[in-house]
Amino acid sequence: MSSADARQAQTGLFHRLHAGPEPLVLVNAWDAASARIVERAGARAIGTTSAGMAWALGYADGERMPASELLAATARICRVARVPVSVDIERGFGHDTQDVCEVVRALIDLGVAGINIEDGTLPGTRELAPPEILCERIAALRGLDALFFINARTDTFFVANDDPAVRYEDTLRRARLYAAAGADGIFVPGMSKLDEIAGLAAAVPLPVNVYAGHTQAPPVEVLAGAGARRVSLGCGPLQAALGLLGRIATEAFDGSDAGFRAMSAGMLSVGEINALFTGMS
């Protein structure tokens, strides 16, 4: 099978995973090792976390990581992943639609099955970007590849709004616009009320993606009952891993009776980790 045929097969599988009897759960990865750990645990697909990638490479979140670094990290994940890979590209890592298309074309060449792309806020402001910007980018990206999975994210719940009803209506309006522009899924991080999730799922004819990378997130089956077809943990797993690292370091430095318990609990062996990459060039 050619590389193009293999990517098309992975893309087709990624679409089908959104239509199965159970929601697609993405425990988001930030590098090759985390991708293989998640896959070993049973992942049917790998989604990346842009924040996690940025932090792991020494950058703050918010497209401060160069696009070249994003592509290099993605290439390493694609080299080891055996399931479809979807990449979070924030607003697109480009100043305009042409720049965004170049980034996505490079991702397609790497074998990526889909992306997250968001409207976000206008640079240097807390003002939500006009939906027309993302609509233009979605339409252009759809022209690159008819099957590539475009998960359109709106940040309506991340911008201050004193009127929840107005915010919800703006969310529905943007979701419908992005669907009409050619998106394959809708992602609204910050939307956590089950009735709002259910309303969005009923109003938009695309799979709804819910963010569950926070401590108050309900179980997957509850989110599924509200209509979610995709559940993402985003940067939550890396936040937890960094918290554990902090506890390991504290135990090592403070000379407490705890010794190295935090490090020892659940530690993988060198052999187990090496086995994740056995047979990969």
On whether the CB atoms of residues 110 and 80 are closer than 8 A, the answer is no
End-to-end CA distance of the chain: 18
- Residue 149 DSSP label: E
What would the pLDDT profile of 161-178 be if each residue is shown by its tens digit? 889 999 999 999 999 999
Taking residues 174-202, what's their average pLDDT?
97
Three-class SS of residue 245? helix
pLDDT at 279: 83
User: Confidence class of residue 3 from pLDDT cuts 50, 70 and 90?
Assistant: confident
Residue 26 has pLDDT above 80, yes or no: yes
User: Confidence class of residue 29 from pLDDT cuts 50, 70 and 90?
Assistant: very high
Q: Which fold has domain 3-235?
A: TIM Barrel (3.20.20)
User: Confidence class of residue 62 from pLDDT cuts 50, 70 and 90?
Assistant: very high
As beta bridge partners, residue 86 has 47, 114
pLDDT at 20: 86
Domains of the chain: which residue ranges? 3-235
Residue 89 has pLDDT above 90, yes or no: yes
Residue 281 has pLDDT above 90, yes or no: no
Count of CB atoms situated within 10 Å of the CB of 101: 17
- DSSP string across 79-140: HH--S-EEEE-TT-SSSSHHHHHHHHHHHHHHT--EEEEE--B-TTSSSBPPHHHHHHHHHH
pLDDT at 125: 84
Residue 108 has pLDDT above 90, yes or no: yes
What would the pLDDT profile of 250-268 be if each residue is shown by its tens digit? 999 987 776 788 899 889 9
Show the tokens assigned to 241. Answer: 């891993």
Model pTM? 0.95
What would the pLDDT profile of 200-254 be if each residue is shown by its tens digit? 999 999 999 999 999 889 999 999 999 999 999 999 999 999 999 999 999 999 8
